[in-house]
């Protein structure tokens, strides 16, 4: 199965701070999760994608949060610069790839203003998580693409098995 995966989860240094969120090398994940992740990588066709870089933002970049999570969306970085258009562009490019390649499922980084599928930071740069979705996760879900995060590898694996 084709799977779109957040580049940072694959170990690519694309995060705002120039680092990555590698599942394989993160000590917080038990070996069983890493093993499952590696099985998913080996048994499927992986499309690595970072919406924020695709949307024109650099590495490193200032951290950004969603200030208004309903249309009109507003995303600002910690200096108050409006980066909404970059986030919208990245989301659109993610959807374009999914449509072009017939990708029906994505594994996206939790809590990100682009990739988060359940929680996002509240827009005050206070480390407070609230219910909500990043702009890319939201657009993919709105277009019937299933989105899982790195805490949901078992659910993703089950989805793959039942939709082969």
**Distance separating alpha carbons of residues 68 and 60, to the nearest angstrom:** 24
* x/- letters, 11..40, toward ligand SF4 (CB under 6 A): ---xx-------------------------
What part of residues 106-135 is at the interface with ligand SF4 (CB under 6 A)?
109, 112, 114-115
CB of 38: closest distance to ligand SF4 in angstroms?
Answer: 19
| Three-class SS state of 80 | coil
Q: Hey, CA dihedral for 123, 51, 46, 2, is it positive or negative?
A: positive
* x/- letters, 50..79, toward ligand SF4 (CB under 6 A): xxx---------------------------
CB of 10: closest distance to ligand SF4 in angstroms?
Answer: 9
Which residues are at the interface with ligand SF4 (CB under 6 A)?
6-8, 14-15, 50-52, 109, 112, 114-115
């Amino acid at each position: 199965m084709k799977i779109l995966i957040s580049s940072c989860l694959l170990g690519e240094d694309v995060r705002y701070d120039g680092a990555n969120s590698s599942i394989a090398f993160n000590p917080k994940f038990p070996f069983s999760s890493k093993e499952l992740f590696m099985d998913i990588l080996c048994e499927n066709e992986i499309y690595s994608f970072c919406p924020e870089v695709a949307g024109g933002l650099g590495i490193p970049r200032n951290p950004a949060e969603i200030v208004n999570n309903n249309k009109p969306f507003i995303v600002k970085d910690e200096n108050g610069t409006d980066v909404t258009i970059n986030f919208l562009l990245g989301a659109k490019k993610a959807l374009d790839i999914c449509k072009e390649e017939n990708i029906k499922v994505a594994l996206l980084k939790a809590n990100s203003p682009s990739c988060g599928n359940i929680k996002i930071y509240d827009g005050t740069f206070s480390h407070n998580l609230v219910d909500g979705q990043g702009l890319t996760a939201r657009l993919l879900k709105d277009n019937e693409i299933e989105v899982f995060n790195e805490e949901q590898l078992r659910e993703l694996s089950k989805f793959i098995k039942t939709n082969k």
